[in-house]
Amino acid sequence: MLAMNYRGPRRVRIDQKPFPEIKHPEDAIVRVTRSCICGSDLHLYNGNVPDTRVGMTFGHEFVGVIEEIGPDVHNVKVGDNVLVPFNIACGKCAFCKQGLYGNCHESNTQATAVGGIFGYSHTAGGYDGGQAEYVRVPYANVGPTVIPPDMDPDDAVLLTDVLPTGYQAAEMGGIQPGDTVVIFGAGPVGIMAAKSAWLFGAGRVIVFDHVEYRLEFVRNYAQCEVYNFREVDDVVVFVKKLTDWLGADVCIDAVGAEAAGNAMQTITGRKTLLQAGSATALHWAINSVKKGGIVSIVGVYGPTDNLVPIGNVVNKGLTIRANQTSVKRLLPRLIDHIQQGRINPKAIITHRVPLEEVAEAYHIFSAKLDNCIKPVLIP
Ligand code: NAD
Ligand code: ZN
């Protein structure tokens, strides 16, 4: 079968690989019909995730048809159209039972806290992903969810990660009616967080990025205020000015490690100081939220990154909430939001690319060319 094949930093190609096989009675094989590239894949693509092995197939956002099931699979059957959450979750461990499907204890035996993730290096279990014609889906009684017959598969594929992640970012922010919410990052996740913030009752939603076409998109799509951080002298002071010098009620980091290593600003009194080698968006979030405010982090970082300006967190009495998204927990609510027309995720899909052109798709998405927001690979 054809599958994306990681060859090293910024080198991916399409290759022939063996068909996946049922290895466990609860496995299923899914024939993939759509598979997205995610901002999370860019951390792998850029070589920033430890133990990303040459030969791995990425892809954790996919939908398809159940092709084959193991003898202990009862919740889906051959021929079902399913969406598959990016988390690989056993459904039975202490964490899954709490709804923390992103922190499953069984699907990843590594020391890191993250559960298994499709196509996300050996730090997340070493499972091959869905940027392929076929993929093995472990614990198939738990993740794969039959797509409602009236749902567009383009909406369904965005339910496997980015919509739940943007929504969970807003949920973790504990948004109260009327709150000012500042979101860093206008990628697919930041866009979904902006849209979701309104669903939680935000009174004002402000988004920062430096890619103009993405700012333009989120302004129209989520009816929010947008700013190019490169055109602002000092982001932290700018947010303070917008909020009567109090700071935002909630800040969301929808950027992650992409911003690490850039020049960053740390606040020292009313002035900010440029330093190198830390995470701009995360620092901006911590420094521009109000005292007692909440910083919600969905941006992905390396397991041992040490980037939090803890003194500011303590002195301001902040709450920091962060996690991998537990997709399955949110699906019933989000399916309802889509069916009631409150959110239209497929609007962010800008590119439909044959799986064979996976290398070009990674390049366009990574370099932010051709007004790309979300590319979908079609096997
Ligand atoms: P993306 O790469 O398409 O978008 C990131 C955006 O951030 C880009 O538009 C970029 O220009 C912008 N940016 C860079 N530096 C910035 C800064 N300092 N301030 C403001 N904006 C800045 O990625 P995406 O698909 O939208 O994903 C965003 C993040 O969410 C990634 O880190 C991804 O790994 C993470 N993610 C987490 C989960 C989870 O479960 N927690 C799930 C999906 C994605
Ligand atoms: Zn993703």
CATH number, position 103 = 3.90.180.10
d(CA 185, ligand 1 centre) in Å:
6
Residues 35 and 80 both lie in one domain: yes
d(CA 255, ligand 1 centre) in Å:
3
- By alpha-carbon position, which residue is closest to atom 15 of ligand 1? 259
- How high is the pLDDT of residue 280? 86
For residue 74, CA distances in Å to 63, 70, 71, 285, 359 come to 19, 9, 8, 44, 37
**Which residues hold their Cβ within 5 A of ligand 2, which is an ion?**
38, 40, 61, 161
What digits encode the pLDDT tens for the residues 210-261? Answer: 999 999 999 999 999 999 998 998 999 999 999 999 999 999 999 998 765 4
- How high is the pLDDT of residue 109? 79
Banded pLDDT at 48 (limits 50, 70, 90): confident
**Worst-scoring range by mean pLDDT, 89-93, 266-270, 330-334?**
266-270
Which atom of ligand 1 sits closest to the CA of residue 301? Answer: 32
% of the chain surpassing 70 pLDDT:
94
Measured distance CA(376)–CA(63) in Å, rounded = 11
For residue 334, CA distances in Å to 160, 188, 199 come to 11, 16, 11
Residues 187 and 299 both lie in one domain: yes
Which atom of ligand 1 sits closest to the CA of residue 373? Answer: 3
> For ligand 1, which residues put their CB under 6 angstroms from it?
38-40, 42-43, 161, 165, 184-190, 208-211, 214, 229, 254-256, 258-259, 280-281, 298-300, 324-325
Q: The pTM is what?
A: 0.95
d(CA 62, ligand 2 centre) in Å:
10
Residues 257 and 332 both lie in one domain: no
Helices and strands: H and E segment counts in the chain: 11, 19
Tell me which of 163, 168, 258 to substitute to probe ligand 1's pocket, judged by most ligand atoms within 8 Å of the beta carbon. 258
**Higher local confidence (pLDDT), 188 or 303:** 188
Banded pLDDT at 270 (limits 50, 70, 90): very low
What digits encode the pLDDT tens for the residues 107-141? Answer: 997 766 689 999 999 999 999 999 999 999 999 99
**ipTM of this complex:** 0.99
- The tally of domains found in the chain comes to 2
d(CA 379, ligand 2 centre) in Å:
18
Residues 313 and 173 both lie in one domain: yes
**Worst-scoring range by mean pLDDT, 159-163, 218-222, 238-242, 303-307?**
303-307
Residues 196 and 253 both lie in one domain: yes
Residues 141 and 49 both lie in one domain: yes
- How high is the pLDDT of residue 301? 86
Q: Name the 3-class secondary structure at 39.
A: helix
- How high is the pLDDT of residue 264? 34
CB 299 within 8 A of CB 273: no
d(CA 15, ligand 1 centre) in Å:
28
- By alpha-carbon position, which residue is closest to atom 27 of ligand 1? 39
> Is a pLDDT exceeding 60 seen at residue 10?
yes
Q: Give the residue numbers spanning the domain of 119.
A: 2-161+326-378
